[in-house]
Every structure is written in C-alpha cells, then in structure tokens.
Homo-oligomer: A and B are copies of this chain.
Amino acid sequence: MTVKSLNSATIPVPAQTIIDFARQFDPQPYHLDPEAGANSIFGGLCASGWQVAAYATRLLGEALLQANIPFVDITSVDHMRWKRPTFVDDSIRVELHVLDRCTDSPIPQCDTLRIDARVLNQADAEVAHLMASVAVAKAQVS
C-alpha cells in the first residue's frame, strides 16, 4: 500500500564535496582524485555511496517536511543498493513512496513511516534504491 508519493528537490554533486567527503569518511582513490577515478573500474571521479545515502536522506526528509509530514530522522535501513556511480557534477533527486506507518519508534514521541526511495540522477537513471524506516513526530501526524 502506497500512502503517499513525493518528489524531492534536486541537489548537485560538485567535485569539491566528493573530495571533501571522501577525504574524511571514505578515502578511496576514485572518490579523491579525477585521474585515479578515470583509471578505476568506475571510469571517473565519483561520490562515496554514503555521501549519496546522506543526500538521499536529506532530500527525502525535506520532501516529507514540505508535505507537512514532521520528519525527525532515519532510524533503520531495510535494504540499500547502489546501482551506478554518481559522477562529478551529476545532480540527484529522490522519488519516494510512504508505504505504511506504525505507532512505535526507537525515538520517543515518534511514529515510524516505512519509505521506499529511488535516488535518480539528472538523466533519470537510478543511482540507488533504499527501503528505510524514518521517525516522524507523533503529535503532528494525523
């Protein structure tokens, strides 16, 4: 059952954010250096999968808030698969479906929404697929 379908805003992924993220959190050569990226299995400088995941959560959280669903935070991931690299200067956005809701959450005073989210690039190609549970504030959900 899909309760609600939403589209997020779009976020660009410039080189500096790819390199900044990788330097601190995922120091693989193809996330750090354009030449190493070009010579890698991916064929170009590309973002860490976790950078994509963090952007996806940010975009889906903002899309929920914009739809007056009081998103608090992501609490678990039931499945996540990266489908293709996010290259330098790609843009990503999220198409999300709220699947169901339960009146329980690891975060106090929250309910849980189960979300199916597809991360798409500027060519509408699927970059990642994510099934996740998010906490939303209880009082304001109706």
Contact = CB atoms under 8 A, between A and B. Distances in A.
A17 B24 contact: yes
Interface of A: 17, 20-21, 24-28, 41, 48-51, 53-55, 57-58, 72-82, 106-109
A79 B82 contact: no
A78 B79 contact: yes
Contacts of A106: 82
Contacts of A50: 50, 53-54, 57
A78 B51 CA distance: 18
16 contacts: A21-B25, A25-B54, A25-B55, A26-B57, A41-B72, A41-B107, A41-B108, A41-B109, A49-B74, A50-B50, A51-B54, A75-B81, A76-B81, A76-B82, A77-B77, A80-B80
A105 B20 CA distance: 28
Nearest to A77: B80
A28 to B, nearest CB: 7
Given A41-B107, A41-B108, A76-B82, 8 more contacts: A25-B58, A50-B50, A50-B57, A51-B54, A77-B79, A77-B80, A77-B81, A78-B79
A4 to B, nearest CB: 22
A25, A48, A76: which has the most chain B beta carbons within 10 Å? A25
Contacts of A48: 54
